[in-house]
Amino acid sequence: MIPRSATFRANSRAALDNPELVRALGTMKTGFRQKRAAAVDALPEFDALRDRAVAMKNHTLDHLDHYLESFADKVEAAGGTVHWATDAEAARQQVLEICRAHGAHTVTKGKSMIAEEVGLNEALEDAGMRPVETDLGEYIIQLRREPPSHIIAPAIHVSKAQVADAFRAAHGDLDPARELDTPRALLDEARAVLRHDFTAADVGITGANLLIAETGATVIVTNEGNGDLTQLLPRVHIVLASLEKVVPTLDDASLILRLLARSATGQTASSYTSFSLGPRRPEDADGPQAFHVILLDNGRSEMLGNGFREMLRCIRCAACMNHCPVYGAVGGHAYGWVYPGPMGSVLTPALIGIDKAAPLPEASTLCGRCEAVCPMRIPLPGLLRQWRARAHDQRLSPPAMRRGLAAWGWLAARPRLYHPLNRLAAVALGRLGRRRGGFARLPLAGGWTKSRDLPAPEGDTFQARYRRGARRP
Amino acid sequence: MTAKPDPQRQNVLAAVRRGLARTGPAAAPVWPVEPPLIPAAARGDGDLIARFTAAAEAAAASVERVAGPDALGPAVAAWLTARNLPGELAVAPDPALDPAAAHGLLTVRRGTAGPGDLIALTRARLGIAETGSLLLTSSPETPTGLNFLPDFHLVALDASAVVATLEDAWARLRQDHAGGWPRTVNLVAGPSRTGDIEQTIQLGAHGPRHLHILLVESR
């Protein structure tokens, strides 16, 4: 997927003009936020569990090589094959090689953000295979040929009427007069259509929420059960996972599971949490004959040492975007690549380069809600600030902004000049704006006054009042 | 096990070590450093069955208590009849389910489920009271297909096999599987569901539409 993150401003303007998107985002905000809040309130130990999870994940990242090796050795001891991929291209080639070796035609897929990150569907299509997304949301956006707009609800921007249109176009052999007005009717149709694909598939590809170093198991957490059918029915199961998904033990997985479902959907536990280890055993009645795990680096090893290691604690629950005022206004597609919202604004520059994603760290008011709800206590606003500083240093921010900041910086470093000028401005603006209480338009403040009034200062500066001992306004 | 000379493995591990500012492997870490943190509400053995039942029902499963292994067949037959469902079902080849499979009103095929199976009966290893989850493991006696393909997923669970937390379940499995871990472990909390169309929760997405748990008392 070619990133469109550099045009975030234009993307968001288009998003704000899309009434269906605005409506969908309104529902999202109330739904996800209330459910999470209720689930967190019902668990008094939630914050203590977060602290434990942070310590566990920090420990794991400090010894990432060790835990990856124990995981990989356990998978191979159970008859599976582990492939190590340095970048997206290597991962794509490994998947294609496995699919070709098994003469694959139909490839079912459980929901995987890593598959989106490496652009797997395109690669499979180019190689003449038929990838079929089986998560309902992913299936919808695959039919619409769109990227996901949310990491756990990929089709959150699509209305049910649009889903019906996509189904009518794709399922041409069904009765055109059929009723598709309700979510139930749409779901039943998708269930029936995808049942054929589940059984016809030669290869099933899933992601992994966790990798367990203790046992070598890969873990998927789902509600639909599609991931389980994807990994159970085809002859070959491929797990695509990034390096940081590993945890030391099953008990550490339990810790993450207590936080994940609550932070994501407000559930105590997701419907299905499935642990897979190697191919079917000789005496088993079902299961894949071949089992492959692809461990993808694609920038993670660099993040261990470049100031963004804390982002590798992310468990992809989406709480940050569910609570973000910017995401809530423009939705996920505006972010222009695979990962949207606050976590995306930190991760995307790390994975595709800040030069291709410079506007993303600016797409935040730094209000701090994302950090407040993050189950892994990732300091997202702080990391966004780090990216802003780097974008500035690399001269990636708009020239006018850099000139303005340089001028302000020059002035602010000279208090003998700064304070009188500041006071002059406060007094003058206070006088000018006294009657209306604010300004509808002001030179150099167009960015602010275009959409709201600038309140008039009270007539003096904070510092001057503080010096006079005026503690009350 | 000696590592195969896999250059890609060495490349990725070298990059990880560069990121960690190390040149070689570190000494094996000490972990865990403290026992798991278990929420107070999940601790203790008191009233495990009541807690399990409440949590499973909150996850939209139905729970029925069955007096003993001999009562399982009649309970399954009655449950199907009450819902106007046919008495044809796939039953796990687990010997504990033999009496139920022999019930006169049921037409049974022993083995894993196929895509055409509407109803399946299988047996869970453990129940987890904290979340109302069933823990099912793959084995020749309990194939995984039974858990996902049918519309109606009936699961027998020994009442004595309900534990408080997932950590307790892992301790049990570590004991029972010292010689090798099962290929698949499924934690199942309620039936399949999705909220992917306009955030409306619908049950029965790709997996079972109903999950019925039969808690079997031991005699």
What are the chain B neighbours of A257 within 8 Å (beta carbons)?
Answer: 166
B183 and A216 Cβ atoms separated by less than 8 Å: no
Q: Across chain B, what does the average pLDDT equal?
A: 95
Q: Of A301, A335, A359, which residue constitutes the final position of a domain?
A: A301
- Alpha carbon A396 to its chain centroid, in Å, reads 23
Q: How far is A402 from chain B (nearest CA, A)?
A: 31
CB B122 within 8 A of CB B155: yes
pLDDT tens track for A143-159: 999 999 999 999 999 99
Residue B158 belongs to a domain: yes
Q: Tell me what pLDDT residue B219 has.
A: 67
Q: Which amino acid is located at B26 in the chain?
A: A
List, as one string, the DSSP characters of A79-92: T-EEEEESSHHHHH
Q: What is the pLDDT of residues A234-256, one digit of tens each?
A: 999 999 999 999 999 999 999 99
Predicted ipTM? 0.97
A170: domain range? 43-301
Which of the two residues, B26 and A247, has the higher pLDDT score? A247
**Which of B93, B143, B198 lies at the smallest CB-CB distance from A160?**
B198
- In percent, the amount of chain B with pLDDT more than 70 equals 98
Which tens digit of pLDDT belongs to each residue from B72-102?
A: 999 999 999 999 999 999 999 999 999 999 9
Question: What mean pLDDT do residues B168-178 have?
Answer: 96
Span B183-212, average pLDDT: 96
> Nearest C-alpha of chain B: how many angstroms from A126?
25
The H or E element spanning position A343 is helix A341-352
Boundary residue ending a domain (A301, A320, A335) = A301
Closest CA to A153 of A373, A321, A41: A321
CA geometry: angle A297, A300, A304, nearest 5 deg: 135
The band of A24, judged by pLDDT with boundaries at 50, 70 and 90, is confident
Angle CA A73–A109–B12, to nearest 5? 35
Q: Residue A232 is nearest to which of B26, B140, B145, comparing CB atoms?
A: B145
Three-class HEC string of B166-207: HHHHHHHHHHHCCCCCCCEEEEECCCCEECCCCCCCEECCCC
Return d(Cα B32, Cα B126) in angstroms, integer. Answer: 25
Helix ranges (DSSP H) in B114-178: 145-148, 166-176
Q: Which of B211, B122, B32, B13 is nearest to A304 (CA)?
A: B13
Residues of B in contact with A27 (CB under 8 A): 198-199
The yes-or-no verdict on residue A67 having pLDDT over 90 is yes
Residue A465's pLDDT is what? Answer: 82
CB A332 within 8 A of CB A340: yes
Q: How far apart are CA A242 and CA A210, in angstroms?
A: 10
Cα separation, A355 vs A340, whole angstroms = 17
pLDDT at B1: 47
> Which percentage of chain B shows pLDDT scores above 90?
91
Domain presence at residue A384? no
Cis status, amide bond into B32, omega within 30 of 0: yes
CATH code, domain carrying A80 = 3.40.50.10420
Other beta carbons within 10 Å of A244? 23
DSSP tag of A243: G
Write the pLDDT tens digit of every residue in A334-343: 999 999 999 9
**Residue B71 structural domain:** 46-216
**CATH number for the domain that contains residue B66:** 3.40.50.10420
CB A374 within 8 A of CB A320: yes
Contact B144 A232 (CB under 8 A): yes
Above 50 in pLDDT, residue A298? yes
Give pLDDT tens digits for A189-220.
999 999 999 999 999 999 999 999 999 999 99
Contact call for A280 and B17, based on CB within 8 A: no
Does A438 or A86 have the greater pLDDT score? A86
Looking at the domain assignment, is residue B201 inside a domain? yes
- CA distance to partner chain B, nearest, from residue A430 (Å): 49
- CA-CA distance, A439 to A451, in Å (whole number)? 12
Q: Which residue of B has its CA nearest to A79?
A: B183
Q: What is the structure's pLDDT at B125? A: 98
Least confident of A38-52, A339-353, A390-404, B149-163: A390-404
My answer on whether A289 and A417 are in the same domain is no
Å from A83 to nearest chain B CA?
Answer: 7
For residue A62, tell me if it sits in a domain. Answer: yes
Tens digit of each residue's pLDDT (9 = 90 or more) over A102-129: 999 999 999 999 999 999 999 999 999 9
Among all residues of chain A, which has the CA nearest to that of B194? A224
Residue of chain B whose alpha carbon sits nearest to that of A162: B197
Q: How many domains does chain A have?
A: 2
E strands, B48-196, in order: 62-66, 88-91, 107-110, 119-123, 126-128, 133-137, 152-158, 162-163, 184-188, 193-194
What's chain A's average pLDDT? 95
On chain B, the residues whose CB falls within 8 A of the CB of A90 are 8
Please, which residues 100-159 of chain B have a Cβ atom closer than 8 Å to chain A? 111-112, 115, 130-133, 138-140, 143-145, 147-149
Question: Quick check: B39 contacting A, CB < 8 Å?
Answer: yes
Output DSSP code: residue A332: S
Domain membership of residue B38 (yes or no) is: no
Q: How far apart are CA A69 and CA B180, in angstroms?
A: 19
pLDDT at A473 over 70: no
Q: Among A54, A115, A27, A39, which Cα is nearest to A322's?
A: A27
User: What is the torsion angle, in degrees rounded to the nearest 10, for the CA atoms of residue A91, residue A96, residue A98 and residue A100?
Assistant: -170
**How many domains does chain B contain in total?**
1
Chain B: give the shortest CA distance to residue A356, in Å.
23
- Give the SS3 label for residue A295: strand
Mean pLDDT lowest among A325-334, A430-439, B108-117: A430-439
Q: Do B205 and A223 touch (CB under 8 A)?
A: yes
Nearest by Cα to B62 from B210, B174, B217, B218: B210
CA angle A111, A116, A118 (to 5 degrees): 130
CB contacts, 8 Å: A252 with chain B = 32
Please tell me the predicted confidence (pLDDT) of residue B156: 98
- The rounded distance, in Å, linking the Cα atoms of A245 and A143 is 29
Q: Please say if the pLDDT value at position B2 is more than 60.
A: no
Contact A86, A267 (CB under 8 A): no
Are A224 and B193 within 8 A, CB to CB? yes
B5 part of a folded domain: no
Nearest by CB to A155, which of B21, B37, B196?
Answer: B196
Q: Which chain A residues are closer than 8 Å to B134 by Cβ?
A: none
Rounded distance, CA A31 to CA A38, Å?
11
Closest alpha carbon within chain A to B132? A269
**Mind listing the pLDDT tens digit for each residue in B131-169?**
999 999 999 999 999 999 999 999 999 999 999 999 999
Q: Which of B120, B76, B82 is nearest to B102 (CA)?
A: B76
Of B17, B55, B192, the CB nearest to A271: B192
Domain end call among A275, A301, A327: A301
Interface test with B, best of A223, A247, A289, A302 (most B CBs within 10 A): A223
